[in-house]
């Protein structure tokens, strides 16, 4: 039982990551691919935040009388990663808009030339 | 109790992710992604990462969702049936997932204060940073000072996104006037927007300057301020928003934010320290840290605000163009 | 004052210059400015290499915070050597791009192009120099986002799908690296690479660390286009503007190869990767398959840029092959090929870009008869092509020589034979282009009469690379010395981290003593 309590969080996070990863590589629609990338990345963020948690700790902002804080470093890393993620999303979506304009479709199986398919 | 909340939220996330996989209606997919993002923000709060939660809610659930909806307006909301096999992706995912599960079996237990993560580097941030950097919010100390170089890099990534979106879409300045721009006929919305927008901007300023003491900082503030202008643009139409802050000005502001951040680093070099060594900025190291952090957070705020709003302009002007046709 | 900041300058200089290039706005101004900045970065990296050769390691604590609390920049011979190649190519490509970009990119986007180029350069330098595993991810994304922008700036619509595919694959790769770094951090509590090396050694075997290693390796393999994760590369290099293809093919994937080398040798350690995990064999098999499959693919393409792109994937195979031999000689062959391949591919893509500039097509048919119309361009293509094949007196020969020697040193006749056999494919795909250029007649048409040689601004950087191809093919002292000390240094770095673990301290004095 202890074993499960120790790890359940990581296992669910792994499931979420793989759900996102599956959407990226299986989706036919390019917008959905981008959604999948976001789900994938957000789940990886959860992995980091989970490892920063200290049971019984509080948010890493100094408060009188509190000695147990959760680890601030993973939070910093993920703040950075979130912003990187939105930057990639913006560029990806801009590409999708242009692809729609150039090809008339954003469905992977509708590109006329198979070289152009993604 | 925290574990219980965590479990419930994770279960909801899993359900959301599964729905996203099988739904073909992309509008629903994007909405579910917004929900996914908000649920993860809740998990972050539950795991003590308030700053991250704040950012995820404003960036992930806010900006990303808006951009996805903007794209859907141009590309259509139905996913067509795929012709190729799902077996290969499934296989790849199963192998990757199995590797990850294998990796978890050796992981330090969840939440244990004796984990290596909490032992080696982190104690200094928790114990010393309030004295060395002088801020109660350790996340801000680490973000802006100990790992200020990462944050500079991240500001540059945001700037690079602007370059990418601009080179792809550009912003159409001149809008045709013969169609209804924004939601001009909705009087109620106008009144509500006029009340809300100043409050949102005020809140953004609060978040910008309160980041040293509580959750917040340049990123969150920049995004919130951009949200206020996005609301303005949605209600009153892009041309009016351009008249308030134009794309050219924002482009200038985005570059200025990066330069402001970097100039702090250059100045500390000039003063004889290493790049981004804020101790050099004033006679008293704590004061130096304080100045340094305020200025770089401002730089971050400028760049993020300008880039987010400009990217919205780029997508928005595409949408208005396609509405005309 | 500059001396002290030398390790930081190649990153912060282009980083600060990028927004300024955007503000300059006018095409010609931002071009001149970007070239100047890139040239300065080249001078600094030259000084860095000299300093690294004499002092061993240069460590720079950003923000004045000592590692592992702050971010450390760490320059040794190995990354200074790769950095020199990257900044040199960047500068030459920028000189070249003025005319080329005018033809291939819309005028309104010119300053965006130079800004993105500088951002990409800053990102690549950051990846090379940083000594912090997470900081590496950040700079990886800086360079990647800039790259997506650069690729999608071409006028052909196919660049859009290529850039999208690149973006999806690249982000998956970066996210894999993020997962891997997270797992290492979870077990060790640190992000600094030297510190990681020490703390990973403390574990005999850990599933988490091994999984982290696997994810980092797969993520980096996507970035360096290791077969079979290379599918994003050929379309991206084919449809990007020519200047971008020249820049990326000779820098971006090479930097990723270096990242792999760095993680294997300085973070995980040779024993962990090759003995415990048995990755040597996997890498060797993939490298050999890459050489043959992609060299073959290169022989059947009709678009010459695609030919060169597949050839790049095959050449990356040679680098990984050298690395997988797990010897100083093998690693040295890999390092030297990183540098030499930059010289060859840079020149080849520039020559093809020049053809596109005049003829408007890079199909192999368009090359017919160009040997007469564009003699200097085609001569450059021919010499760089001979270098790819590995003809003596060119750098290609030097690379293959050291690779074959390294294989024979281990009595590995099969690998040595395969390397030579792989060169035969290069004879075919380069030969097809040369045959068209020199032995076929120019098609009779109105447009073909006006074809003439390109301007000196395009020819000069191309020929600088061609001459470098010959110079470093004859006088190999500089490259072999640098590559050799880089390889020796990497092998030492590995054994050193173990000795440091025994002492249990993080101090640079130890590092310098061992290396000097």
- Taking only the tens place, the pLDDT of each residue in C264-277 is 988 888 888 887 77
Identify the residue among A20, A75, A115, A117 best suited for mutation to test binding to C, counting C beta carbons within 10 A and taking the highest.
A115
Cβ separation B47–A109 shorter than 8 A: no
Task: Name the minimum distance, in Å, from the CA of A89 to any CA of chain B.
Answer: 7
Cβ separation C146–B163 shorter than 8 A: yes
Q: How far is CA C205 from CA B112, C83, C185, C498, in A?
A: 21, 34, 16, 15
Tens digit of pLDDT for each residue in B77-112?
888 777 777 888 899 999 999 999 988 888 888 888
Tens digit of pLDDT for each residue in C80-100?
999 999 999 999 999 999 888
- For residue A5, how many other CB atoms are within 10 A of its CB? 12
Q: How far is CA C103 from CA A41, B260, C240, C354, C366, in A?
A: 38, 35, 13, 10, 17
Tokens of B272: 């004889």
Give C407 or A62, the one with higher predicted confidence.
C407
The verdict on A117 touching B (C-beta cutoff 8 Å) is no
A118 chain-B contacts, CB cut-off 8 A: none
Query: Residue A116 above 80 pLDDT?
Result: no
- Helix (H) / strand (E) containing C75: strand C72-75
> Would you tell me which residues 58-77 of chain A have a C-beta closer than 8 angstroms to some C-beta of chain B?
58-63, 68-77
From C163-167, C195-199, C313-317, C450-454, the region with the lowest mean pLDDT = C450-454
Tracing tokens 């770089």 back to the chain, one arrives at: B296
A86 chain-B contacts, CB cut-off 8 A: 59-60, 63-64, 161
Q: Are A113 and B183 in contact (CB under 8 A)?
A: no
B150 chain-A contacts, CB cut-off 8 A: 76-77, 80
Tracing tokens 């605000």 back to the chain, one arrives at: B305
Give C22 or B171, the one with higher predicted confidence.
C22
Q: How confident is the model at residue A14 (pLDDT cuts 50, 70, 90)?
A: very high
C185 chain-A contacts, CB cut-off 8 A: 51, 74
Work out the average pLDDT over B41-65.
90
Query: Residue C497 above 60 pLDDT?
Result: no
User: How far apart are alpha carbons C283 and B226 in whole angstroms?
Assistant: 47
Cβ separation B116–C63 shorter than 8 A: no
Give B23 or B175, the one with higher predicted confidence.
B23
Alpha helices in C64-206 (DSSP H): 77-104, 110-129, 133-151, 158-188, 193-201
Cβ separation C152–A98 shorter than 8 A: yes
Q: How confident is the model at residue B173 (pLDDT cuts 50, 70, 90)?
A: low
Closest CA to B296 of B146, B136, B132: B146
Task: Report DSSP state, residue B199.
Answer: H
Query: In sequence order, what are the residues at sequence separation of 6 or more whose Cβ sits closer than 8 angstroms to the Cβ of residue C472?
Result: C339, C340, C343, C395, C398, C478, C479
pLDDT, mean over chain A? 86
Q: How confident is the model at residue A113 (pLDDT cuts 50, 70, 90)?
A: low
Q: pLDDT at position C219, please?
A: 94
CA closest to A21 among chain B residues: B93
Task: Name the minimum distance, in Å, from the CA of B182 to any CA of chain C.
Answer: 28
Work out the average pLDDT over C364-384.
89
Q: pLDDT at position B175, please?
A: 55
pLDDT, mean over chain C? 88
Cβ separation C145–B149 shorter than 8 A: no
Task: Name the minimum distance, in Å, from the CA of B94 to any CA of chain C.
Answer: 14
Q: How confident is the model at residue C201 (pLDDT cuts 50, 70, 90)?
A: confident
Expressed in angstroms, the distance from the first to the final Cα of chain C is 25
Cβ separation B103–C191 shorter than 8 A: no
Query: In sequence order, what are the residues at sequence separation of 6 or more whose Cβ sits closer than 8 angstroms to the Cβ of residue B153?
Result: A80, C126, C135, C138, C139, C141, C142
- CB burial of C230-267 (b: ≥16 within 10 Å; e: otherwise) equals bbbbbbbbbbbbbbbbbbbbbbbbbbbbbbbbbbbbbb
Number of cross-chain residue pairs from B and C with Cβ atoms under 8 Å apart = 167
Q: At what angle do helices C395-409 and C413-439 cross, to 10 degrees?
A: 160
Backbone dihedral angles phi then psi of residue C130, each to the nearest 5 degrees: -65, 150
Cβ separation A95–C178 shorter than 8 A: no
Of B108, B163, B252, the CB nearest to C116: B163
B253 chain-C contacts, CB cut-off 8 A: none
Of A17, A95, A116, the CB nearest to C158: A116
CA closest to C134 among chain A residues: A77
C113 chain-B contacts, CB cut-off 8 A: 167
Cβ separation C168–A118 shorter than 8 A: yes
From A106-115, C10-19, C120-129, C422-431, the region with the lowest mean pLDDT = A106-115
Q: pLDDT at position C275, please?
A: 78
Tokens of B205: 């300023």
Work out the average pLDDT over B184-208.
85
Tokens of C284: 């060797």
Q: pLDDT at position C216, please?
A: 94
Tens digit of pLDDT for each residue in B282-310?
888 889 998 999 999 999 999 999 999 99
- Helix (H) / strand (E) containing B118: helix B116-119
From B248-252, C24-28, C376-380, the region with the lowest mean pLDDT = C24-28
Identify the residue among A29, A52, A91 best suited for mutation to test binding to C, counting C beta carbons within 10 A and taking the highest.
A91
Q: How confident is the model at residue B53 (pLDDT cuts 50, 70, 90)?
A: very high
Q: How far is CA C413 from CA B90, C68, C285, in A?
A: 40, 45, 15
Of A49, A63, A96, the CB nearest to B49: A49
Instruction: Give residue B58's Cα distance to chain centre.
Output: 6
CA closest to C159 among chain B residues: B168
Query: Residue C510 above 70 pLDDT?
Result: no
Tens digit of pLDDT for each residue in C62-75?
988 888 888 999 99
Percent of chain B with pLDDT over 70: 93
Task: Name the minimum distance, in Å, from the CA of A115 to any CA of chain B.
Answer: 15
Residues of A with CB under 8 A from a CB of C: 17, 21, 24-25, 30, 33, 37, 40-41, 44, 47-48, 51, 73-74, 77, 80-81, 84, 87-88, 91-92, 95-96, 98-99, 102-103, 111, 115-118
Cβ burial, residue C405 (10 Å; 0-12/13-18/19+) = middle
Q: How many CA atoms lie within 13 A of C440 on its CB side?
A: 16
Q: Are B207 and B221 in contact (CB under 8 A)?
A: yes
Task: Report DSSP state, residue C273.
Answer: I
Q: How far is CA B53 from CA A75, B65, C129, C242, C459, in A?
A: 9, 16, 32, 43, 54
C58, β-bridge pairs:
C75
Chains in contact with C, counting 3 or more C-beta pairs less than 8 Å apart as contact: A, B
What DSSP assignment string belongs to B265-323? HHHHHHTTS-TT-GGGGSSSHHHHHHHHHHHHHHHHHHHHHHHHHHHHHHHHHHHHHHH
Alpha helices in C189-263 (DSSP H): 193-201, 207-223, 233-239, 242-262
Tokens of A99: 């692809």
User: How far apart are alpha carbons B256 and B304 in whole angstroms?
Assistant: 11
Tens digit of pLDDT for each residue in B130-164?
888 888 888 888 888 899 999 999 999 999 999 99
Cβ separation C141–A30 shorter than 8 A: no
CA closest to B38 among chain A residues: A42
> Would you tell me which residues 10-29 of chain A have a C-beta closer than 8 angstroms to some C-beta of chain B?
10-23, 25-29
Q: pLDDT at position C338, please?
A: 92
- Helix (H) / strand (E) containing C59: strand C58-61
The verdict on A94 touching B (C-beta cutoff 8 Å) is yes
Q: pLDDT at position C506, please?
A: 42
- For residue C103, how many other CB atoms are within 10 A of its CB? 15
pTM: 0.93
């Amino acid at each position: 039982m202890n074993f499960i309590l120790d790890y359940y969080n990581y296992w669910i996070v792994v499931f979420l990551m793989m759900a996102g990863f599956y959407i990226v590589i299986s989706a036919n629609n390019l917008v959905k691919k981008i959604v999948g990338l976001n789900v994938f990345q957000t789940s990886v963020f959860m992995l980091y935040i989970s490892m920063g948690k200290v049971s019984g700790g509080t948010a890493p902002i100094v408060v009188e009388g509190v000695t147990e804080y959760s680890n601030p470093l993973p939070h910093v890393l993920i703040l950075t990663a979130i912003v990187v993620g939105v930057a990639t999303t913006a560029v990806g979506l801009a590409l999708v808009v242009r692809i729609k304009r150039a090809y008339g479709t954003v469905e992977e199986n509708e590109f006329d030339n198979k070289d152009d398919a993604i | 109790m925290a574990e219980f909340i965590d479990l419930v939220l994770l279960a909801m996330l899993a359900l959301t992710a599964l729905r996203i996989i099988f739904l073909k209606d992309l509008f629903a997919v994007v909405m579910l992604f917004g929900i996914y993002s908000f649920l993860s923000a809740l998990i972050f709060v539950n795991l003590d990462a308030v700053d991250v939660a704040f950012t995820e809610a404003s960036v992930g659930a806010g900006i990303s969702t808006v951009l996805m909806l903007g794209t859907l307006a141009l590309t259509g909301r139905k996913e067509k049936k795929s012709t190729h096999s799902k077996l290969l992706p499934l296989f790849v995912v199963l192998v990757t997932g199995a590797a990850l599960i294998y990796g978890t079996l050796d992981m330090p237990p969840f939440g244990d204060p004796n984990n290596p993560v909490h032992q080696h580097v982190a104690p200094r941030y928790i114990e010393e940073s309030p004295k060395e950097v002088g801020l109660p919010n350790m996340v801000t100390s680490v973000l802006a000072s100990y790992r200020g170089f990462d944050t500079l890099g991240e500001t540059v990534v945001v700037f690079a996104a602007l370059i990418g979106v601009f080179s792809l879409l550009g912003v159409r300045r001149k809008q045709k006037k013969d169609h209804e721009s924004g939601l001009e006929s909705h009087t109620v919305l106008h009144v509500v927007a006029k009340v809300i927008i100043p409050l949102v901007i005020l809140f953004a300023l609060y978040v910008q300057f309160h980041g040293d003491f509580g959750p917040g900082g340049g990123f969150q503030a920049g995004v919130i301020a951009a949200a206020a202008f996005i609301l303005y643009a949605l209600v009153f139409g892009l041309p009016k928003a351009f008249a308030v802050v134009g794309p050219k000005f924002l482009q200038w502001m985005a570059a200025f934010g990066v330069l402001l951040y970097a100039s702090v680093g250059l100045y500390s070099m000039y003063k004889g320290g290493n790049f981004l060594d804020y101790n050099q900025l004033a006679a008293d190291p704590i004061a130096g840290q304080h100045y340094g952090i305020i200025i770089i957070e401002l730089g971050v705020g400028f760049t993020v605000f300008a880039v987010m709003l400009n990217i919205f302009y780029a997508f928005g002007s595409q949408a208005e163009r396609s509405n005309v046709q | 004052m500059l001396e002290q900041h030398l390790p930081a300058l190649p990153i912060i200089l282009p980083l600060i210059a990028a927004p300024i290039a955007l503000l300059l706005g006018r095409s010609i101004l931002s071009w001149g400015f970007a070239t100047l900045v890139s040239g300065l970065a080249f001078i600094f990296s030259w000084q860095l290499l000299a300093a690294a050769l004499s002092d061993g390691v240069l460590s720079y604590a950003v923000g004045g915070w000592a590692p592992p609390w702050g971010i450390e920049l760490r320059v040794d011979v190995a990354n200074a050597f790769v950095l020199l190649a990257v900044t040199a190519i960047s500068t030459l490509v920028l000189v070249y791009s003025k005319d080329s970009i005018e033809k291939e990119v819309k005028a309104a986007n010119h300053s965006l192009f130079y800004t993105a180029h500088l951002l990409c350069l800053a990102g690549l330098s950051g990846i090379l120099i940083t000594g912090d595993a997470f900081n590496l991810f950040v700079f990886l994304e800086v360079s990647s986002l800039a790259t997506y922008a650069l690729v999608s700036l071409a006028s052909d619509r196919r660049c859009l799908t290529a850039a999208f595919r690149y973006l999806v694959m690249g982000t998956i790769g970066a996210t894999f690296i993020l997962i891997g770094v997270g797992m290492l951090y979870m077990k060790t509590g640190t992000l600094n690479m030297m510190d990681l090396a020490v703390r990973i050694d403390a574990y005999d075997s850990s599933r988490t660390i091994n999984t982290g290693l696997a994810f980092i390796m797969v993520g980096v393999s996507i970035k360096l286009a290791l077969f079979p994760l290379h599918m994003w590369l050929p379309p991206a290099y084919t449809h990007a503007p020519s200047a971008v293809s020249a820049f990326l093919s000779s820098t971006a994937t090479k930097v990723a190869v270096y990242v792999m080398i760095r993680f294997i040798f300085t973070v995980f350690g040779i024993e962990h990767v090759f003995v415990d995990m048995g990755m040597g064999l996997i890498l060797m098999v993939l490298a050999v398959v890459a050489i043959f499959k992609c060299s073959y693919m290169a022989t059947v393409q009709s678009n010459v840029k695609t030919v060169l792109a597949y050839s790049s994937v095959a050449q990356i195979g040679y680098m990984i092959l050298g690395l997988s031999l797990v010897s100083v000689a093998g690693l040295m062959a890999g390092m030297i090929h990183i540098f030499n391949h930059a010289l060859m591919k840079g020149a080849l893509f520039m020559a093809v870009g020049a053809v596109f500039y005049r003829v408007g097509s890079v199909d192999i048919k368009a090359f017919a008869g160009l040997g007469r119309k564009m003699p200097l361009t085609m001569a450059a293509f021919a010499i760089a092509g001979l270098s790819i094949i590995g003809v003596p007196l060119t750098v290609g020969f030097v690379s293959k020589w050291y690779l074959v020697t390294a294989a024979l040193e281990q009595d590995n006749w099969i690998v040595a034979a395969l390397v030579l056999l792989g060169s035969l494919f290069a004879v075919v795909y380069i030969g097809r282009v040369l045959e068209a250029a020199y032995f076929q007649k120019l098609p009779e048409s109105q447009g073909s009469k006006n074809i003439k040689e390109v301007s000196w601004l395009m020819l000069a950087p191309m020929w600088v690379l061609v001459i470098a191809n010959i110079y470093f093919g004859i006088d190999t002292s500089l490259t072999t010395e640098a590559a050799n000390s880089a390889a020796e240094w990497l092998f030492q770095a590995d054994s050193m981290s173990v000795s440091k673990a025994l002492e249990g301290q993080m101090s640079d004095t130890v590092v310098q003593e061992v290396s000097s």
